[in-house]
Structure 1
C-alpha cells in the first residue's frame, strides 16, 4: 500500500490536498455554470437570429404592401382625373342641351305663329299645291330635326352620366382596396413594433448570457490557475520528501494492465479524434473495459492524483526516480474512471492506483499511458521502448 509522507511535511500536504479538493469542487460547479451559460447563450442567440429573420421578412412584406398602396393610390388619382373629365364633358353637354333647348323653343314659337296667324298669308302666297306641300314638309322637318337633336344630346348626357357613375364605382372599389391595404399595413407595422421590442429583449438576453458565460469562464480559468499553483506546491513537498529519503531508483517497468482488448492508438503523430488537430499523441492507448484495474508500472511517489485541465480527465502521475540507464522517469495514467492513489504518497510497483474509464477528452474506455524522462511531458518517449506490452 502507499507509504506516508515524512512527518515534517504531512500537515502542509494535508492542507494542500484539502485545498485541491475545494478547488475541484469549485471547478465542478463553475463547469456546470459554464455549460448552463453556454446553453443559454446559444438559445438566446438562436432566438435573436430567428426574430431578426422575422423582422427582415416582415419589412420585405411591408415594402411590397406599400408599393401596392402607392399603385392603388395612383389608380385612384387616375380615376378621379377621368371622373373630372367626364364631369366637364357633362357640364359642356348640359350647356349645349340648354342652348339647343332655347333654339328649339324659338323654332316652336315661330311655328306656332305660322300656324295661328300666318296660314292665310301662306295660302295667298302659294301658287300651286306643290308649294303648299313643300312648305308643310319643311315646317314638319324642322320640328322633327329639333326633337332628334335634343334627344341625341340628352342620350349623350345620359351616356356620360353612366360612364361617370361607372368610374365612381371603380373608384369606390379602389378606395375599398386601399382601405384594406392600409389596414393590413397598420397590422404589419404593429407586428413589426412587437418584433422589434422582442428583438431588443432577445439582444439584451444574449448579451447577459454572453456576459454570464464570460464570467463563468473567468471563474473556471481562475480555478485552474489556483489548481496548478497548489499542484506546484505539492510537487515541491514531494521533491523535498524524495530527497530526504535519499536517491530513488528502479530497474524497469511492468505493464499497468493485466488485461486489455487491444492497442487502440500508438505513440506518434495523428489526427486527434476529439479535437481534429494533427499533433503528437504522446503515449499509448490500451482499449479495455471500464473499471479494469490499473497498476503502478514502477514504484514511486504520486506526484499528481486528480482532475486534469488539459484533457486527461482523472489522471495520476508517478515519479519513479532513476533507472539503471542513469535517467529519471515519470509515468502518466489518463482518463481513469476513478482514482485510488493519494497524492503525495509512495506506491510500489504493481500497486492498484485506479480504474480504466473515459473521462476528459476521450471517445471510449481506455488507459492512456505516457512515459517521461524526468518530470516534464516535454520529454515524452515511446512507452513501447520501456514498458513490456503483452499481446492480447
Structure 2
C-alpha cells in the first residue's frame, strides 16, 4: 500500500523552493538576532567562565585591600570598581552591535537593490510579452488572409499554368518569378509566426522565473528589515548601558569623594589597634623570654650542683608553655588554620590603599575560607586572649601563646571569627578547633586572617614550612 504524500511533498517544486527559502531566512534571522552574545554562549563559554573567575578574584583582592575600613565606604569603592570593570566590555559590545547594524543595513540595501532590478525586469518582460502578442496576432491575421485568398484562388498559380499561359519566354519568367515571390512570402510569414511564438514562450518562462524571484527577494527584504531593526535595537541598548555605567561611575565617584574624610580616622583607628596588638604580643614575648631564661638558668644551676656532687646532670626542665605536636602537623612547628590547599586573597606585607593612595602594613595573610568553616590552632599553647569585638577593626579575635618552639617565641592571631570555641587561659593542642571563619570587624566577606609573631615581630605565615 502506497503511503500518502505529505502536503510539502505534494506541493509544486516552485512552492517547495519558496518554503525552503522562507525556512532558511528564518534561520538566518534567528542567528542574526542571537548576535555575539549567543555565539559567545555557544562557543566561548570557557572564556566567559575565565572572565567571571578573574572578576571574582579581582573583587576578592580589592575587598582584602580595603580591610579595616568602614563597610559602607568599602561597598561604595567596590561598586565603583565593578562599574569601571564593566565599561570596557560594554564598549566592546557596543562596537560589535554597531558593526552588526552596519552589516544589516548593507544587506538590506543590497536586497532592496536586487528587488528593484527584478521588479523592473518584470515590467520590461510584461511589455515585451504584450508586444510579442501583438506581433503574433498580426502574423496570424496575415496568415488567415493568405489562407482565405488561396482558398478563393486569388493568388494560387501552379507551374503548369504559368507554362501554359505564357506566350513567350519572357512571360514565363515573369510569371514564375511572381509565383516564387508568393511562395517565399508565405514561407516567411510562417517562419515569423514560429519565431514569435518561440520568443513569447521564452518570455513567459522568464516572467515566471522573475516573478518567483521577486517573491523570494521580498521575503529576504522583509527579513533584512527585521535583522536591521534588531541590530539597531541592540546598538541602542548597548549605548544606553554605557551611559548608565558612566552615570553610575560619576555618582559613585562623588559619593566616594564625600566619604574620604572618614578614611583618615578609620586608618588611625586601625593603626592604633595594630599598635595595641603589637604591644600585647611584645609583652607575651617578653614573658616567654624571661620564662625561657629562667628555665635555662635553673638547668645551669642544676648542672653545676650535679658537677659539684660528682653526679650526672638532671634532665632539663620542660618549657613553661606546652608543646604537644598533633598528627595534623606532619612534623612542622606550625600548621595552617584551615585545610590545604591554601588560597591567599591578600598576602603579608605593605598594602596599597586604593582610596587614599597610601601604604599600610598588613600583619598577616588572608586565606579563602567559607563562612562557618572551622579554624584550628597552629600549634599547642595557651589561649591568652579571646576578644569579642564584632564591630571593631579586627572583629572577634583569638590570641594563642605557643611559648618557645625550636628556640624561638611564637604567638599566633586569628581575626574576624564568627564564633569562639575556646576561652582565655585554656590550653589547646595543635589542630584543635578554636573558632569558625566569619566576617566580623571592618571586612566585607568571610575569610581567614592569620598572623604569626616570632620573637615579638610579625612574619609572613606563608614562608613557614608546611604552608
TM-score by length of 2: 0.42
TM-score by length of 1: 0.48
